[in-house]
Structure 1
């Protein structure tokens, strides 16, 4: 299982070096494919799709059948059968067709004895004409699905940002450990050299103490940096999961990509401030989610406005003798018909006015939230962009400083070989050079963490 997991990393191998390498783009693919949070975000989208199907149920045709029969004291009072098909439509109009079969000696005089059939229609002329609960529910379900997609993007955006912060922290710790290890090896070699020199009488014995002290310093530092590297590896493993929902620890042999390959990462990333702001305003998942939410509230406001209208429904049934409805053309109000008008209106409209006012206030509230979120995103993008620009300049300065420190170390070593310097000065120069190299590594890792945070702040990391 471990070997399969390493191969899944999309790791790079060469003919000479067999060290597995974890690239950032491969790491993000693993996180997106298998991390539980990413899967949960996908489930939310599936749930919203199920809610759309649930809302469509309001437009499903309904087939019903009503049967009743009464006998008492040997008399057949009535026997009634009435199957009906009701078809709701998008515009609030309901179509229906059915049959009736009524027999008995004591039936309601309003009902027709024998076999009859009908085709009818019900039309709302005021309330529920332009929108009703069924249409509103379906529109809101579709908007909720769009919101779920944006929330999924937002969750993945944040997850990727956190994951890349852990990745670059791991990269930094691995490279810093290598720097300390190189200095430790040099210190160990110098101890051996100084001991031989002391044995030959070329150096005073105190130089052995000086060289050993430097070695011990680097040895302790190596242990501390090794612990940081292991902890960062474990922190990175939090984002690594297998297909069967099993967490996976990052194998010890996996290494980050070489520093020389890092600049290729920036080719596909947008680092232009104006472009990032434009993309964020147009397509940031948090802003899009607010916009879809406001659209949903507008649907609710339209529905609540219907509560201010009187209910006026008109229904009409074309009646036919026998169980087969007649399709022949005839005057609507000539013969064999049934119609009805239903009017209903609260006199004070208290509930309707309150519901409509609340719907408008909800829209105002979410509009303010949208404006605030837009401003927060703008500030965050500008802040990360400023950090990126500052870090670029710091890295340039630190590279020059490191080069100078390394030059000083070489110069001090040449002076030491000529007997014009001391181990104390060499150790001091080496320590400064190592600290400069560590600082440069930290700045570069922080730069990439900030770049990915900049992409996340603009909502374009996914």
Structure 2
């Protein structure tokens, strides 16, 4: 046992010289540089770009229409009509102002000759009064930006859960390899001592074979553990990216934090976690924003059941000052107005569109309810699994402590010549078997515990 203590101290010194990659440092790097994390940010940027495009529906516009006809030396007509138009969010109202300069021998009688100006409005009175396509696009684009933020959090939640699992799998593989390495060294030293004792006539030949077999068994176990450790390191490398968007392999000087690997995590009660998930889970919130966007679509489709009744009116004036001599008499004599009315006879298009919008809302509500229930059950399942694994870990830890004590006693008996190498190897194998089981249980426990936060959608 003194030899084992010496080897443990040597391994500890090696680890102290190594550089520990903590889970917090690893996750911080994944959050900052992993391509999926950056894709999630792009998703938000795209939604913001769509919102900017939707706002463009309310951009003021300047239009210019000009034409002229001259034939056979005659000036038939000329038109010069610039117009400034301001769309508003108030009831679909558009405000417009313009100038006109018209003339020619054959000018249309409906067109004002010479220089004139106008100021007016266009506005729907039925269909399009409460909401129209421009306002619907803007409202939906605003909701989609909020939804994209939830989609970003969902992608990050999934990414970090996978990253945590890869890290703890690496930590477990590293710890298991370290145990095999430690016991292999002990068995090699024991084999040399037994072989020396056989050469001096103090041990039988069968003891050297027994010691050698133990060495060979540990060599196979260590080789298998090395393969698993390498695989875990490569799996971890899937999450390793730098600020230059380049992936890289983990330097061999880095080792995992095996101290945190053996610690328990603090977990809230399932009902508290479920309540938090209902408020913060990005998948649920994304569906809620989708429902809001569908409600905007329903309101827009409801407008399609109404007839179109649009009004437009302008005040007119000679010259380019439209408000010159503005007053009651002016308003009675200088205006143009018009009304446009349209209604489909059967309203089948409007009825079908409105029904489709309502069915989409119902469909999404069912999806949301199903998602909420599935999320709650996942949280309960991971919570129950984590509690069960904690009990198994406690039992395995007690068994490990017991087998370690038995190994220590058997080693003393073997040194005093009161035990056989077979019994010592049996005790040693039992310790290693229990240690391997304990590592597996801890890895499962960490996966289940992080699974609670993942199911709730709160891994940040």
Interval containing the TM-score (normalised by the shorter chain): over 0.9
* 2:187/2:214 contact within 8 Å kept: yes
> How far is the alpha carbon of 1:198 from its aligned partner?
1.6
Partner of 1:17: 16
Equivalences for 1:40-79 in 2 at 5 Å? 40-79=39-78
Between stretches 31-40 and 320-329, larger displacement belongs to 320-329
Equivalences for 1:171-182 in 2 at 5 Å? 171-182=171-182
- What SS does the aligned partner of 2:333 have? coil
* Per-residue Cα deviation, 1:426-456 (whole angstroms, up to 9, x for no partner): 1011001011111112211221122112111
Equivalences for 1:372-391 in 2 at 5 Å? 372-391=370-389
Runs of 4+ in 1 over 4 A off after TM superposition: none
> How far is the alpha carbon of 1:328 from its aligned partner?
5.1
Could you tell me how far apart the structure 2 residues matched to 1:301 and 1:262 are? 54
Say if 1:260 and 1:318 are closer, same or farther in 2 by CA, change over 3 A: closer
* 1:176/1:438 contact within 8 Å kept: yes
> How far is the alpha carbon of 1:367 from its aligned partner?
0.5
Partner of 1:273: 270
Equivalences for 1:304-319 in 2 at 5 Å? 304-319=301-316
Matched, 1:290 2:251: no
Partner of 2:8: none
Structure 2-normalised TM-score? 0.94
Report the number of matched residues.
445
Could you tell me how far apart the structure 1 residues matched to 2:310 and 2:459 are? 53
* 1:168/1:446 contact within 8 Å kept: no
Partner of 1:8: none
Partner of 2:243: 243
> How far is the alpha carbon of 1:329 from its aligned partner?
4.2
- What SS does the aligned partner of 2:252 have? coil
Partner of 1:220: 220
Partner of 1:6: none
> How far is the alpha carbon of 1:327 from its aligned partner?
5.6
Equivalences for 1:348-359 in 2 at 5 Å? 348-359=346-357
* 2:171/2:258 contact within 8 Å kept: no
Partner of 1:210: 210
* 2:317/2:324 contact within 8 Å kept: no
> How far is the alpha carbon of 1:270 from its aligned partner?
4.1
Could you tell me how far apart the structure 1 residues matched to 2:343 and 2:365 are? 33
Could you tell me how far apart the structure 2 residues matched to 1:18 and 1:177 are? 18
* 2:172/2:261 contact within 8 Å kept: no
Equivalences for 1:329-340 in 2 at 5 Å? 329-331=326-328, 333-340=331-338
Matched, 1:35 2:7: no
* Per-residue Cα deviation, 1:402-442 (whole angstroms, up to 9, x for no partner): 01101111122222233332111110110010111111122
Could you tell me how far apart the structure 2 residues matched to 1:300 and 1:153 are? 26
Could you tell me how far apart the structure 1 residues matched to 2:287 and 2:181 are? 51
* Per-residue Cα deviation, 1:143-196 (whole angstroms, up to 9, x for no partner): 111111111111111111111111111000000001111110110111111112
- What SS does the aligned partner of 1:308 have? coil
* 2:168/2:261 contact within 8 Å kept: no
Which 5+ residue runs of structure 2 have no aligned equivalent? 1-12
Could you tell me how far apart the structure 2 residues matched to 1:111 and 1:416 are? 118
Partner of 1:90: 89
Structure 1-normalised TM-score? 0.94
> How far is the alpha carbon of 1:330 from its aligned partner?
2.1
Say if 1:328 and 1:88 are closer, same or farther in 2 by CA, change over 3 A: farther
**Selected match of 2:398 from 400, 420, 442:** 400
Which 5+ residue runs of structure 1 have no aligned equivalent? 1-13
